[in-house]
A and B are shown apart, each in its own frame.
Chain A
């Protein structure tokens, strides 16, 4: 490498076919198995996240349907209590951990560099790594079914029932180790999102021009970096208690069962916001496109997003109102749990105002987004009810809470995700989803969901506790449960129709073109699907809506999409400053690399060794993992950061 490379000054040129060809050769993933394992293309990784998360959604859904058949009538004996316990536990783990965040990470992974006007995530190999580890932890958790000993203590897994005295099988070890593994993936992904936003935005994309989806994912990524350590520690201590006889949670040895509850909910309550804020962000970006106007109250919505996450760290004790903690403490947490509604209300009124002040175009995506707003409110107000401590003493651990959390997770996550799928599928595949099938699937999902879960609030008020594998006739819960079961099957048919739509449209859907919905942000400025390098010349933006700015007359100056910085000296992107997004450095990006995959394999083998007590395997995994990391991180001259970029 010559010295001049480090002083490279990027050219500024117009987009040309020759440039595109050269960039294609530089950025495209090699064909074959090697390319499949070693690709670091954020678009491929994003789609993998989405496909994998939907696969887990289907598996978790099937688990739910089995449970709904069991509960449709009193005293049904379709499955044994042991099987039922594993089903409700794995259903929760799957939907909350293996679907809830990964689906959003998938969209964010796919969209981040595109909406930010860049070519890849800041750390492409770390990105591949976080996907592989997510997949590995999902398979690790599900391998428990092969031995008939899946986790069986509910997703929040309270000791002492999770301790070996009451739960001697490997069930809880699968959960403990699997969650530590997943925590590694979440942490790696979160760090990557934060740095990507801070350093690789398009020139000119100052903080007040970032799409809300990006704000949502960045906010929850910072949240994750603070929250995940609590749960990894909690599960690690649990594993020590189980394997080496420590007494962190064991009262008979002087431990405290409540320690678990604090550590777990300190993580798991913020997690609720983690799996909804990016979806709220997608709605905040998507809804305006179909309302044909910018979002009302952009700044307030961004502030509300951040405020929600911050307050989300101060409400965890509302899961513990019945544990006999001091009254004064409970009243504080009851109050904070009510206050957290305020920023959510800001978002809701911003969406409502956008619909009212806009000219909505009723597409399938719009239907999902509009339904999202209403479902959000249902999940929100039932959350307000459980925030009131004396009311919660009745509602806690009943089907009322089950209804509430499904309005949150399906209403605020799934509805947003499905709207986003209809909206961005054309970008990902180059083809439109069928609108007619789309409407059918929307109405089936909407009606099925509400038939299933609206009456479930009543089930809870009639006093049905959660996590019971059956119930007596005289309890009077038969009718409502039957209605819920019928609703869930309608919901399932709606999903089936969605998947049919995806498969059919992939083959025969109408060709989309770069910007089928007339969207305002940078991902719509490139072809559908985008080339491996995303943008031939790196765009410079001068407003929040680069593709709308001429028609809305906003911003200072004009965004430049066809003429911009050319970086074609190997894989390169531009680094910009954190606040104002002024050009700063040229970043050299790594080529495809199999080491993230290999490190994941080594690490997973190590975890399997810990699970099986094959200490030699654990030791081998423990030794090979750092070896793989050294190979991955071995300094390479081609990756040295170079010269300052153009200023001005």
Chain B
């Protein structure tokens, strides 16, 4: 499969930085680099939380090491049947707990505010999306139906490949035909489940052209591992051309051919 090369080619073609393109090409499901508003907000949160998390682990790890290292040097390093005498220590140790409690609470409060404000910013698309895509989960493929506002004659259906115009929010309606699946394209958005008997909605927007890999994220049976999808984000004119092409009877040039 040369999806990887195609991704890199498309990304480079449109002037993305080389480093991003290489990362996206070698790890198409990379979550830490958002290529659209939703993906970017989530990536930023993960980076920030990771930084806090790593600091906390390092600090606590150091304290435990220091506490143990001290006794290595005072010669009670190993247990040989003799134990140092009991003692409550010279100073009250409770301030450790109070300080820890205060720092933890403040940090968590800040993280909570950041979390809620991020939720607000990705809750609704910045403007009413002109295009709605209805995705139906099936064991083990994705049915994709395009519904423009108004014109019923331009509705059509594809499978496993989703095309969207760059720079425009697209509404995604998610339903399931059998079991629970989960729609996930890490570069563009986190997961939203497809649940039988329910209609879930989310939205995606790509900032720059490219091919973004996605995969079912909720275990759905034996071939769950192979339930992948690709999102092709095209400049609006190319997207229109692709759409027109889809509406023509079979026999025309395929999309990939038209790229070359």
Contacts and interface: CB of A to CB of B under 8 A. Distances in A.
B134 to A, nearest CB: 15
B106 to A, nearest CB: 11
Contact of B191 (A256, A322, A382): A322
Interface string B225-248: 100000000000000000000000
Interface stretch (A114-122, A341-349, A610-618): A341-349
Contacts of B131: none
B152 interface: no
A378 interface: yes
Interface string A247-271: 0000110011110000000000000
Interface of B: 1, 3-4, 26-32, 41-43, 45-46, 49-50, 52-54, 56-57, 60-61, 63-64, 66-68, 70-72, 74, 76-79, 83-89, 91, 93-94, 96-97, 99-101, 104-105, 108, 111-112, 114-116, 118-119, 122-123, 139, 174, 178-180, 182, 184, 186, 189-193, 195-198, 200-201, 213, 215-225
A551 B119 contact: no
Contacts of B45: 388, 390-391
Interface in A551-573: 551-552
A620 interface: no
Given A324-B200, A391-B42, A467-B224, A461 B32 contact: yes
Given A359-B76, A517-B83, 14 more contacts: A257-B197, A292-B83, A297-B93, A297-B94, A297-B97, A346-B97, A352-B67, A352-B100, A361-B71, A366-B68, A370-B64, A385-B50, A463-B28, A476-B27
Contacts of A463: 27-31, 186, 215
Contacts of B139: 166
Nearest to B43: A394
Nearest to A349: B100
A443 interface: no
**Interface centre among A381, A392, A435, A471, by most B CB within 10 Å?**
A381
Given A463-B30, A472-B1, A327 B200 contact: no
Interface string A462-485: 111111111110111000000000
A488 interface: no
Contacts of B60: 348, 352, 373-374, 377
Interface string A175-218: 00000000000000000000000000000000000000000000
A472 B28 CA distance: 11
Contact of A362 (B72, B93, B195): B72
A286 to B, nearest CB: 13
Contact of B88 (A294, A363, A464): A294
Nearest to B91: A357
Contacts of A236: none
Contacts of A471: 225
Contacts of A627: none
Nearest to B61: A374
A472 B226 CA distance: 9
A581 to B, nearest CB: 25
A352 B97 CA distance: 9
Contacts of B105: 342
Interface stretch (A25-33, A133-141, A154-162, A523-531): A154-162
A90 interface: no
Nearest to B54: A381
Interface of A: 81-82, 85, 153-154, 158, 160-161, 166, 251-252, 255-258, 292-294, 296-297, 300, 322-324, 327, 330-331, 334-335, 338-339, 341-342, 345-346, 348-350, 352-363, 366, 370, 373-374, 377-378, 381-382, 384-385, 387-398, 435, 460-472, 474-476, 517-518, 548, 551-552
A348 B100 contact: yes
B86 to A, nearest CB: 5
Given A257-B197, A342-B104, A357-B89, A363 B79 contact: yes
Contact of B195 (A258, A338, A397): A258
Q: Which 3 A-B pairs have the closest CB atoms?
A: A393-B190, A463-B29, A251-B197
Nearest to A435: B79
B198 A324 contact: yes
Contact of B104 (A160, A345, A370): A345
A426 to B, nearest CB: 12
30 contacts: A82-B222, A255-B197, A258-B195, A297-B94, A324-B192, A324-B195, A324-B200, A324-B201, A330-B119, A334-B112, A334-B116, A339-B108, A342-B101, A346-B97, A346-B101, A348-B60, A348-B100, A349-B97, A349-B99, A352-B64, A356-B96, A358-B67, A359-B84, A360-B70, A381-B57, A384-B53, A388-B49, A398-B217, A462-B29, A474-B1
Nearest to B50: A385
A474 B100 CA distance: 44
A126 to B, nearest CB: 38
**Interface centre among B193, B200, B216, by most A CB within 10 Å?**
B193
Nearest to A520: B86
**Interface centre among B1, B31, B139, B213, by most A CB within 10 Å?**
B31
B101 A397 contact: no
B221 A166 contact: yes
Contacts of B184: 465
B178 A160 contact: yes
Nearest to B184: A465
Contacts of A349: 96-97, 99-101
B68 A370 contact: yes
A475 B27 contact: yes
Contacts of A396: 190-191, 217
B112 A335 contact: yes
B119 A356 contact: no
Nearest to B220: A161
Contacts of A255: 197
Contacts of A388: 45, 49, 111, 114-115, 118
Contacts of A251: 195-198
A324 to B, nearest CB: 4
A468 B224 contact: yes
B248 to A, nearest CB: 31
Nearest to B103: A345
B224 A338 contact: no
Contact of B96 (A85, A294, A353): A353
Given A322-B193, A346-B97, A349-B96, A390 B224 contact: no
A583 B152 CA distance: 83
Contact of A377 (B57, B79, B94, B108): B57
Given A341-B104, A377-B61, A392 B190 contact: yes
Contact of A296 (B49, B97, B219, B224): B97
A335 B108 CA distance: 9
Contacts of B50: 385
A377 B100 CA distance: 13
A552 B96 contact: no
Contacts of A377: 56-57, 60-61
Contacts of A339: 108, 112
Contact of B215 (A257, A461, A465): A465
A188 B123 CA distance: 46
**Interface centre among A342, A345, A362, by most B CB within 10 Å?**
A345
B86 A357 contact: no
Contacts of B77: 362
A358 B88 CA distance: 7
